[in-house]
């Protein structure tokens, strides 16, 4: 049974309702959306500049991060450790949506192809009738 026969007579749905997504899927989508935005880049830049300024100040007058920026490096490594897999999960969901959309498009194209073939047959019959009447 091909895809078109399986969906024949049904309204094809290629979107997953947001309400059916799991908490993890919604979180991955949000993190990918937020982590890839200009507000995130701006806020992270502001945080890093503030951190570096405070760290430099405290290195001069005291000891906050005695080996400059080791704690900052740890923070950024942890951020990347958590952010990368979550973004990959979101990309996997995007791939799944694209696959469903392609299946939907294929089914619609097959249906259109069948309808065009039917129209061509009808036109051939009309053409034969017209030729007979002459």
Which portions of the chain are predicted below pLDDT 70? 1-18, 63-66, 68
pLDDT given for residue 4 in this prediction = 45
83-121 pLDDT per residue, tens: 888 888 888 888 888 999 999 999 999 999 999 999 999
With H, G, I as helix, E, B as strand and everything else as coil, classify residue 68.
coil
Q: Measured between alpha carbons, how far is 5 from 25 in angstroms, rounded to an integer?
A: 31
CB proximity list for 89: less than 8 A, separation 6 or greater: 24, 25, 28
Q: Measured between alpha carbons, how far is 106 from 100 in angstroms, rounded to an integer?
A: 10
pLDDT given for residue 2 in this prediction = 46
Is 28 in contact with 52 (CB distance < 8 Å)?
A: no
pLDDT given for residue 11 in this prediction = 47
Is 54 in contact with 64 (CB distance < 8 Å)?
A: yes
């Amino acid at each position: 049974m091909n895809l078109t026969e399986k969906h024949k007579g049904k309204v094809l749905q290629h979107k997953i309702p947001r309400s059916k997504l799991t908490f993890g899927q919604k979180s991955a989508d949000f993190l990918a959306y937020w982590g890839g935005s200009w507000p995130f880049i701006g806020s992270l830049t502001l945080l890093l500049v503030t951190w570096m300024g405070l760290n430099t100040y405290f290195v001069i007058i005291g000891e906050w991060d005695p080996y400059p920026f080791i704690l900052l490096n740890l923070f950024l490594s942890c951020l990347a450790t958590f952010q990368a897999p979550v973004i990959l999960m979101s990309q996997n969901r995007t791939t799944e949506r694209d696959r469903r959309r392609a299946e939907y498009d294929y089914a619609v194209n097959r249906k259109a192809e069948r309808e065009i073939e039917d129209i061509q047959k009808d036109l051939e019959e009309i053409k034969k009738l017209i030729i007979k009447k002459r």
